[in-house]
Structure 1
Amino acid sequence: MLALATACVIGGREANPEDWPGVVSLQSQQGRNIYHECGAAMISAEWALTAAHCVETIRIDSDLGRAVQYLPDGRGELKRFGPLQLVVGAGTLLETPKDATFPVDRIVMHPGYEAGHAELGNDLALIHIVGRWDGPLSRLDGLTGRSPDLSVPETEVVVAGYGNTEEQGSQEEGFNRTGRHVSAPSLALMEGIVPPVDPQTCRQQIATLIDKYGLDEEFAGVSIDPALQICAGTGGTDSCQGDSGGPLVARTWADGPVQIGVVSWGLGCARPDSPGIYMRVSAYSGWIADVTGIEPDLDTPPAHHPEYDRPAGRETGTEDAGD
């Protein structure tokens, strides 16, 4: 089965949430059960950024003014499932501080997004929380941060999430401290390095896969626009189901992470020559600023010095002095 437009991290490792400022688990609730649905990232005290396809079936309850998840029944009709909540900064979904859990009262999908077709692009949405998140935020390339040069060895391009750790992975389950049953593809936050793939190669690989899987009719007219999308992942490590909407960052040990993309879609997970497709956040910085009121600040320093491993060949306190 293809992981299309629903893209834990496959081939990754357990992540330190401090290395992922503002990382979010978007969750639905039903009774005492909690279900991880998608990823996202807090980009201001009141707004999170995710993928539009993650919120297609969410509605705002007119009486309560809160977001509710609806799911299709056997006839394809949407039925109320339960309230939506947003949890920030969790290393494991079994331990989520109360002050990091928020209801949602507004969702703004990009006006160019076509429902049910993440592969056609504009796959972005903004989520407004009830309350304020006073913790670290994801710095957005082109709005509140500057991406480092992706071509130099010191830069890692990395994705994180609570999604599948294998393409046909099953749900992980457990009970949190309040006794609620929690279900997610991965209860732990995972991360994986996904090298960028140049646009021409990406287009060729996607076209080959569309033909190989017999998706020519379904994907008629689909193309990768490098101005709006990023291709990343050369096989072995990839985002997958449950990671959709989560952050793709470029980071250096010295300067910390800057979010350059949002997990959108892919054909399979971690398959050779099958890159993941991410929305390029810098291309949408104007729209994000208009909706959220975030003021551009490209020189915001990171909130902390990250603790993740340095790229191979770099030793603590040493730099190449040149030839």
Structure 2
Amino acid sequence: MLTNACAIIATAASAQIIAGRDASADDWPGMASLQTVLGHSLFHECGATMISPEWALTAAHCVEDARIETGGRAYQYARADDGSLVRFGVLSVAIGAADLRRRGAGTVFPLSAVIVHPAYKPEKPEAGNDIALLRLESPWEGPVALVDGLTVVPREDNLDGPPLVVAGYGRTEEDGPGEEAFSQTGRQLSAPKMRLQEGYVPFVETEACRQQIDSLVARYGLSDIYTDVAISPDSQICAGAGTTDSCQGDSGGPLVYRDYADPPVQVGIVSWGLGCGRPESPGIYTRVAAYADWISGVTGLQIAAPQP
């Protein structure tokens, strides 16, 4: 989740799982941590998922200030108090870790391209189109996520009822502290949570979601900040009814449909929300099937055809 300028509300764009449980990396193929490398320090920024050996999905707000510099490597920038951009460090993804402190050989990759959806409005994940693609400098040889509407045929139902599960390395409490540790390579590692978490989040109908969000914006006095809220059933998914939720540090990570009869299918990307695990405060997720054509056009991945 993000945090607004007044630090009143945390939005779900960079979160950990509230009221979740430890997750197995085997249940989350392609799960990744988007990190900034600064000297001997590593900082978890957001979640991401590998959707092919070369490409990962994440939220646009996680990388809207990233830049490709001389040599073709991606760097993360941070905004100073005066609004100017200051280079922070090299961007990379660490893939397949159940615990960020234990990163195996061949699982960490710098990035050579960061492509934000052209309709995304900077610093406005609540306006929609909160999706971005990351290209690795060299191919990942491990498992990748199945993507609804892209690498698998889109679901025909509206997700009302199916088990939706979200995962990430974000906070487990809205105001909870982060964690510090040393990685196996001896780097100082900072993350909201070192251990991958997962949690079930119930689907929320769009109209109920819109009413709940509008009510919270008014209650918290945020109408001047959230002037461009878009909640569309075509391009977004609402999920979570309090208790289990995504939170700061989970942004960009996957929301999947999982029934254990088949492999999990990613249907959403953690985007934003108001608070973490608050009653009647659903998380808002980017619906990946709505962007299948764009993803295919950028990556070259072929869209799965319906079975005859």
Tell me the TM-score range normalised by the shorter chain: over 0.9
Contact 2:171 2:192 in 1 (8 A): yes
Shift of 1:299: 7.8
- The match for 2:129 among 122, 126, 129 is 122
TM-score by length of 1: 0.89
Count residues with an aligned counterpart. Answer: 297
Residue 22, structure 1, aligned to residue 62, structure 2: no
- Larger mean Cα displacement after TM superposition, 116-125 or 53-62: 53-62
The 3-state SS of whatever aligns with 1:288 is helix
Runs of at least 4 residues off by over 3 Å: 146-152
Counterpart-to-counterpart distance in 2, 1:299 and 1:138: 19
- Find the counterpart in structure 1 of residue 82 from structure 2: 75
The 3-state SS of whatever aligns with 2:130 is coil
The 3-state SS of whatever aligns with 1:220 is coil
Shift of 1:298: 5.7
Which amino acid is the alignment partner of residue 30 of structure 2? G
Contact 1:247 1:262 in 2 (8 A): yes
Pairwise CA RMSD: 1.5
Counterpart-to-counterpart distance in 2, 1:279 and 1:151: 16
- Find the counterpart in structure 2 of residue 59 from structure 1: 67
Shift of 1:274: 0.2
Counterpart-to-counterpart distance in 1, 2:40 and 2:228: 44
Where does 1:164-183 land on structure 2 (aligned, <5 Å)? Answer: 164-183=171-190
Shift of 1:170: 1.2
Deviations 1:7-46 (A, max 9, x none): 3111100100110000010000111110000001000110
- Find the counterpart in structure 2 of residue 86 from structure 1: 93
Shift of 1:286: 0.5
Where does 1:59-208 land on structure 2 (aligned, <5 Å)? Answer: 59-62=67-70, 64-146=71-153, 150-152=159-161, 155-208=162-215
- Find the counterpart in structure 1 of residue 4 from structure 2: none
- Find the counterpart in structure 2 of residue 311 from structure 1: none
Counterpart-to-counterpart distance in 1, 2:305 and 2:135: 23
Counterpart-to-counterpart distance in 1, 2:269 and 2:120: 14
- The match for 1:282 among 278, 282, 289 is 289
Residue 273, structure 1, aligned to residue 280, structure 2: yes
The 3-state SS of whatever aligns with 2:269 is strand
- The match for 2:46 among 38, 41, 44 is 38
- Larger mean Cα displacement after TM superposition, 26-35 or 143-152: 143-152
Shift of 1:238: 0.5
The 3-state SS of whatever aligns with 2:267 is strand
Which amino acid is the alignment partner of residue 38 of structure 1? C
The 3-state SS of whatever aligns with 1:244 is coil
Which one has a bigger Cα radius of gyration?
1
Shift of 1:131: 0.6
Shift of 1:96: 0.7
- Larger mean Cα displacement after TM superposition, 259-268 or 216-225: 216-225
- Find the counterpart in structure 2 of residue 241 from structure 1: 248
Which amino acid is the alignment partner of residue 93 of structure 1? L
Structure 1 gaps of 5+ residues are 301-323
Q: Percent identity?
A: 52
- Find the counterpart in structure 2 of residue 9 from structure 1: 17
Counterpart-to-counterpart distance in 1, 2:218 and 2:183: 45
